[in-house]
Amino acid sequence: MNLIIKKVRKATLITKKIKAFLEAIRYVDLVILENNWEQKINDMHKYHITAFVMGDDWKGKFDFLTDEGVNVIYRELLKLVQVK
């Protein structure tokens, strides 16, 4: 898998920790923090991205990236269970 993009407004301490966590996953080659929506297509070409992974709550929103030769994968989000 070549990429996970995390949309953020600012690089906060939490964002930096999440980025470090994602980078530690051996199947992740690159984590790009996104500054704006238009950045995606440029990043796909700049970094020669072959796969883009996003939660299934975004299903269909990134299909335009397939026109750029990118395999768009929507993964099922983990369901959180509250224990009382």
Model pTM score: 0.65
What CATH number did the domain enclosing 25 receive? 3.40.50.620
For 20-40, write each residue's pLDDT tens digit: 988 998 988 888 888 887 888
For 40-84, write each residue's pLDDT tens digit: 899 999 999 999 888 888 999 999 999 999 999 998 876 555 555
pLDDT, position 24: 93
pLDDT, position 5: 52
Residue 30 domain flag: yes
Give the closest residue to 3 by CA, choosing from 48, 62, 69.
48
Domain around 42: 4-75
Give the closest residue to 58 by CA, choosing from 16, 19, 5, 9.
5
Angle at 61 between CA 58 and CA 63, to 5 degrees: 120
pLDDT, position 3: 52
Residue 80 domain flag: no
Q: How far apart are CA 84 and CA 34, in angstroms?
A: 37
pLDDT, position 29: 86
Number of domains in the chain: 1
Give the closest residue to 41 by CA, choosing from 3, 70, 61.
70
Residue 71 domain flag: yes
Residue 83 domain flag: no
